[in-house]
Amino acid sequence: MIKLTAQDIIELFNQRSSTRYYDSSKKISDEDFHAILECARLSPSSVGSEPWKILVIQNKALRDKIKPFSWGMMNQLDNCSHMVVLLAKKNARYDSPFFVDVMTRKGLTEEQQQQALAKYKTLQENDMKLLESDRTLFDWCSKQTYIALANMLTGAAAMGIDSCPIEGFHYDLMNQTLAEEGLFDPNEYGVSVAATFGYRARDIAKKSRKTMDEIVTWVE
């Protein structure tokens, strides 16, 4: 197992910056981008649900179609090497076929499945109150996609690849456009977040960050 030092990790995060301008002449290799996708696939999620799908949008015509309502990546769509949209599962109730698949993937016995269902029900119904609305349940799944997203960004940075997470677009139009392309069933999934990847075309000024004391409270 490769072990990075604490300083290696901090330096990695110091080097990573949200990239708005990419060098269009530089493309990520298939091998490297597959590794970035693996970072998402291997990411943790609540109760191991993995409630995500990933669209890798390389088609120029489709990128041009979403550009008018994607103000947060208008320039990036022309110049980035790769662009992805992370989808979150809809209707991921504890008693849905989706969760049967989750338990099957875990290899649970019938008895273990019943015990797990009871825990999932308590989690969704009482502990987190996720069943109050379809939106509440979808937002819970959407949170999980951000874990996968963060791992993709960090994994890319570790390979010297730049990236930018993006929420700057019209969500209704993005959902409509991608669903009409037949890329997903809007009854089953919805757009959560997007990201671009490539190699920066210019230096990026460092942003001022909050201090550790401003964000961390120790309770001992």
Residue-wise DSSP of 150-187: HHHHHHHHHTT-EEEEE--S-HHHHHHHHHHTTSS-TT
**Dihedral (C-alpha) 147, 123, 184, 198: value to the nearest 10 degrees?**
0
pLDDT value, residue 11: 94
Question: Is 104 within the bounds of a domain?
Answer: no
Kindly list the distances between the CA atom of residue 131 and the CA atoms of 96, 140, 193, in Å, as whole numbers in the listed order: 12, 10, 22
User: Given the structure tokens 């209704």, which residue do they identify?
Assistant: 172
- Condensed to tens digits (0 to 9), the pLDDT of residues 28-75 reads 999 999 999 999 999 999 999 999 999 999 999 999 999 999 999 999
Number of domains in the chain: 1
Global confidence as pTM = 0.96
- Condensed to tens digits (0 to 9), the pLDDT of residues 120-143 reads 999 999 999 999 999 999 999 999
Question: Is 103 within the bounds of a domain?
Answer: no
Question: Is 67 within the bounds of a domain?
Answer: yes
Q: Which domain holds residue 164?
A: 20-93+140-201
Question: Is 9 within the bounds of a domain?
Answer: no
pLDDT value, residue 206: 86
Question: Is 14 within the bounds of a domain?
Answer: no
First-to-last C-alpha distance (Å) of the chain: 32
In angstroms, the CA 170 to CA 181 distance is 17
CATH number at residue 71: 3.40.109.10
Question: Is 194 within the bounds of a domain?
Answer: yes
